[in-house]
Amino acid sequence: MTSPEDTDDTEGAAASVIYVYAIVPADVQPEEDATGIHDAPIEIVTHGDIAALVSEIDPDHRLGTSADLQAHARILDGTSHVAPVLPLRFGAVVSDRDAVINELLAEHHDEFASALDELEGFAQYMIKGRYVEESIVREIVDESPKATALLESIRGQPEELTRDARMALGEIIGHALEAKRETDTRITLDALSPLTDTVTVREPTHDEDAVQIAILLEVDRQDALEQTVGELAARWDNRVTMRILGPMAPYDFVVRPKPEG
């Protein structure tokens, strides 16, 4: 995915390029000491009603350390507390500040401005649930006579003699986990439905993920979200560990605006 056309260092002394974090309303103002990727000061480039949060970056400096990712997320999520944010994908740079205006803000001013209007007062929250391995595996074994029998058959036996039984048992557990994930995701979606209908279910990124749901919610309703997820956490105590992340930038809800004819 990288485009290594970094051979343009012949054109003058372009020592640094501009990393773009997000599009925000023009009245957003960075804290004086706010820093972003590689500790560069955060600047704002405004055009009309909208602006871009940017910082200088050395084009030769490779991006992608955990600190880089976290700096990107920190700027976007921090901003989402106070203003609507259109997040840019990690790693986006333009050549200079003029290019931010000429190539990004000016050209898409109205689309961005109306998207920001729509987002006013809203932020993304992630609702994450992770199965407690011991509990969920026990639940699955208890529900499946076949799994129980397989477990009996491997208990106390050397691993190399029971590989087939282990595979069979693991497969049962794997499939059962998938089914449980589906059920528990649906239960969570039902619980969230009074709060918002702007919801994205993410694919699991861990074997024991129970729930990974992104929602767009009015930040004023965060209390209600906490209550809803708290009830699920109590219901699934020692079975699923529930977490809420956010408010954060609406990563899962920005799509390229359709060009209007």
Partner 1 sequence: MTTAGGPSSSSLADVIDTILDKGLVIDAYVRVSLVGIELLTIDARVVVASVDTYLRFAEAANRLAIGSEPKGLSDLVSDVKGSGSTKSKTKGVLEGVGETLGELLGGSSGGEREPAPRRRQK
Q: Among residues 186 and 206, whose Cβ is nearest to partner 1? A: 206
Which residues are paired to 124 by β-bridges?
A: 216, 248
Positions 203 through 232 that interact with partner 1 (CB under 8 A): 203-207, 209, 212, 219-220, 222, 226, 229-230
Q: Among residues 5 and 190, whose Cβ is nearest to partner 1? A: 5
Q: Is 125 exposed, middle or buried (0-12, 13-18, 19+ CB in 10 A)?
A: buried
Positions 109 through 148 that interact with partner 1 (CB under 8 A): 126, 128, 132-135, 137-142, 147-148
Considering only CA atoms, which of 22, 70, 63 is closest in space to residue 43? 22
Any contact of residue 191 with partner 1 (CB under 8 A)?
A: no
Q: Among residues 186 and 243, whose Cβ is nearest to partner 1? A: 243
H or E stretch at 178: helix 163-192
Q: Among residues 67 and 186, whose Cβ is nearest to partner 1? A: 67
* Closest distance to partner 1 from the beta carbon of 254 (Å): 5
- How many CB atoms sit inside 10 A of residue 20's CB? 22
Positions 66 through 95 that interact with partner 1 (CB under 8 A): 66, 69-70, 72-83, 86-95
* Closest distance to partner 1 from the beta carbon of 37 (Å): 10
Cα–chain center distance at 90 = 12
Cα–chain center distance at 22 = 15
Which residues are paired to 22 by β-bridges?
A: 53, 87
